[in-house]
């Protein structure tokens, strides 16, 4: 008898779950059918693209990057033969209006976490005092377990550990807002520790940056889906799931969809954004006490979204040979120049493509789009004066108000697990309790965990082993220094 699993949502979490199930023995034996139900006409979710109307160029809504510490995502892309669509960089360039450009490159010969020391020293916008404060805080962070940081915001912890306002502005705000999508005054220090220790200090190559060289819609919306379909995964696209109904007598889920017949399944993986999942199953997103701590409870309203803005610019010239720059002390936070090489296929009249990424609410959040574009172009002109003043041939501002969830202390303790109290219902998505903030890595991990939850249920006649990649292995010194 064939068992059916329906995955609701075709974003990275849903695709990750489908890929994991496709590797199982029960699927390969033909005893398991996997259906991905996605409301849009293509997969990929928030990792999507749009077509610029006048040129026909495909451009990502917002530039996504992965880091070397994102082992589950990178392993997933490697298994799907898609990692070659990403370019790996082992250094970053920082820019500050008063101090120019600095190269941040971890030492190749010092063991982690000491390999970051010379990289910090190379940042011209950080004074010796700034660097001393940062090193002291990183040491205390390495010696403090994550469980002791869940209830405190990053701002409170950093201030109590000797970080001046200048150090906060020039270092911690830059890193944490980009990584967590919100300000230190709102995010949990546990999430900040995940970024700083696992993302930078814990292992060599953890801070490598992987930038897609092809549109996300091509990677996750096309090639990923086609490869899974060739394995036998069924995709039902273009029909929004309206309701999920469990029939206790027949032990089946009925998945009601708009414009299509209902689908029945023994198991459902809900891999939608948290707002949709919470609307369907509020009991899993409401009061979520943490194990051993009955006082850590509260309403589901603790979950809140944080925006990300992508400013898309087609300029009459290339501004620099650098592929990307971290911008400090400016409205712009990240600068990318033609990451997917659209200019190679474009005519000179269409311009050179650039993208600026701004995470969280910012000074220009309520500005008219023309004013935001003008300010960003002014900042770029000052950063790259040798290129001259660029002319904007066309522009587009795309803001996703629900790009990520805000990893506040209240949110961190209420993120539900993939395995629920209902044995046939499983949760996926970047807001699931994976230990990661709202990232592609968190989404990929959640999909693998949801697939494992399915396989751990009674559908498998024999035990199914589903390996989930471990985090980067820490060296001998890091293992002794980091708790």
| pLDDT surpassing 80 at residue 299 | no
Q: What is the torsion angle, in degrees rounded to the nearest 10, for the CA atoms of residue 129, residue 135, residue 138 and residue 140?
A: -90
The pTM score is: 0.93
Is residue 464 assigned to a domain?
no
Residues 253 and 292 placed together within one structural domain of the fold: yes
Residues 398 and 267 placed together within one structural domain of the fold: no
Residues 437 and 420 placed together within one structural domain of the fold: yes
Kindly state the average pLDDT of the residues 381-387: 97
Q: In 220-298, which ranges are continuous DSSP H helix?
A: 224-231, 274-280
Angle between helices 440-456 and 71-79 (to 10 degrees): 70
- Asked which of 405, 439, 466 is the last residue of a domain, the reply is 405
- Asked which of 151, 179, 207 is the last residue of a domain, the reply is 207
Residues 380 and 436 placed together within one structural domain of the fold: no
Residues 335 and 366 placed together within one structural domain of the fold: yes
Range of the domain at 362: 305-405
Is residue 348 assigned to a domain?
yes
Burial of 258 (0-12, 13-18, 19+ CB in 10 A): exposed
Kindly state the average pLDDT of the residues 85-97: 97
Number of domains in the chain: 3
Residues 413 and 280 placed together within one structural domain of the fold: yes
Residues 327 and 291 placed together within one structural domain of the fold: no
Residues 110 and 203 placed together within one structural domain of the fold: yes
Both structure tokens of 303:
């979950």
3-state helix, strand, coil in the chain (%, to 5): 35, 25, 40
Query: Which phi and psi angles does 155 have, rounded to 5°?
Result: -65, -45
What pLDDT, on a 0 to 100 scale, did the predictor assign at position 179? Answer: 94
What pLDDT, on a 0 to 100 scale, did the predictor assign at position 458? Answer: 67
Residues 224 and 200 placed together within one structural domain of the fold: no
Distance CA 88, CA 106 (A): 14
DSSP state for residue 15 in the 8-state scheme: H
Is residue 26 assigned to a domain?
yes
Question: Contact at 8 Å (CB) between 101 and 95?
Answer: yes
Q: In 23-53, which ranges are continuous DSSP H helix?
A: 25-28
Kindly state the average pLDDT of the residues 212-227: 97
Residues 107 and 179 placed together within one structural domain of the fold: yes
Feature table: binding site = 241
Burial of 340 (0-12, 13-18, 19+ CB in 10 A): buried
Residues 248 and 291 placed together within one structural domain of the fold: yes
CB atoms within 10 A of CB 30: 9
Cα separation values, 463 from 28, 358, 399, 457, Å: 14, 46, 45, 10
SS3 (DSSP) at 379: helix
Residues 175 and 248 placed together within one structural domain of the fold: no
Is residue 146 assigned to a domain?
yes
Feature table: binding site for substrate = 241
What pLDDT, on a 0 to 100 scale, did the predictor assign at position 297? Answer: 39
Is residue 378 assigned to a domain?
yes
Domain at 37, CATH number: 3.50.50.60
Question: Contact at 8 Å (CB) between 357 and 309?
Answer: yes
Domain at 194, CATH number: 1.10.405
- Asked which of 172, 207, 242 is the last residue of a domain, the reply is 207
| pLDDT surpassing 60 at residue 298 | no
Domain at 345, CATH number: 3.90.660.10
| pLDDT surpassing 90 at residue 73 | yes
């Amino acid at each position: 008898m064939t068992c059916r699993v329906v995955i609701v949502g075709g974003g990275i979490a849903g695709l990750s779950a489908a890929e994991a199930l496709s590797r199982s023995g029960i699927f390969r034996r033909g005893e398991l059918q996997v259906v991905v139900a996605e409301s849009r006409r293509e997969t990929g979710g928030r990792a999507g693209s749009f077509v610029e109307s006048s040129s026909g160029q495909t451009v990502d809504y917002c530039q996504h990057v992965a880091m070397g510490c994102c082992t589950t995502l990178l392993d997933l892309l490697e298994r799907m033969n898609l990692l070659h669509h990403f370019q790996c960089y082992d250094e970053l360039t920082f820019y500050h209006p008063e101090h120019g450009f600095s190269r941040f490159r971890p030492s190749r010969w010092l063991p982690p976490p000491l390999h970051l020391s010379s990289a910090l020293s190379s940042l011209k916008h950080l004074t010796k005092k700034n660097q001393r404060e940062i090193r002291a805080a990183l040491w205390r962070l390495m010696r403090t377990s994550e469980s002791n940081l869940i209830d405190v915001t990053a701002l409170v912890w950093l201030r109590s550990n000797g970080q001046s306002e200048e150090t906060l502005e020039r270092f911690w705000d830059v890193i944490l807002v980009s990584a967590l999508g919100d300000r230190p005054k709102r995010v949990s220090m546990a999430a900040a520790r995940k970024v700083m220790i696992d993302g930078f200090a814990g292992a060599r190559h953890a801070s490598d940056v992987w930038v897609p060289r092809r549109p996300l819609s091509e990677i996750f919306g096309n090639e990923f889906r086609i490869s899974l379909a060739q394995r036998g995964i069924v995709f039902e696209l273009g029909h929004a799931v309206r309701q999920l109904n469990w029939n206790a007598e027949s032990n089946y889920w009925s998945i009601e969809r708009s414009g299509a017949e209902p689908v029945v399944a023994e198991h459902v993986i809900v891999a939608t954004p948290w707002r949709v999942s919470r609307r369907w199953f509020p009991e899993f997103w409401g009061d979520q006490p943490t194990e051993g701590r009955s006082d850590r409870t509260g309403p589901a309203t603790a979950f809140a979204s944080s925006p990300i803005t992508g400013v898309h610019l087609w300029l009459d010239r290339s501004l620099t040979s650098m592929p990307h720059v971290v911008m400090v002390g400016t409205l712009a936070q990240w600068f990318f120049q033609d990451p997917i090489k659209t200019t190679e296929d474009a005519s000179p009249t269409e311009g050179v493509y650039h993208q600026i990424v701004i995470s969280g609410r910012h000074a220009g959040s309520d500005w008219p789009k023309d004013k935001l574009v003008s300010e960003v172009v002014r900042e770029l002109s000052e950063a790259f004066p040798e290129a001259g003043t660029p002319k904007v041939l066309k522009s587009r501002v795309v803001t996703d108000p629900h790009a990520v969830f805000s990893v506040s202390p209240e949110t961190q303790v209420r993120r539900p697990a993939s395995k629920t109290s209902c044995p046939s219902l499983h949760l996926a998505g970047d807001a699931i309790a994976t230990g990661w903030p709202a990232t592609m890595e968190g989404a990929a991990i959640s999909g693998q965990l949801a697939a494992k939850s399915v396989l751990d249920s009674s559908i498998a006649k024999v035990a199914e082993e589903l390996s989930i990649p471990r985090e980067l292995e820490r060296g001998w010194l890091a293992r002794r220094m980091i708790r």
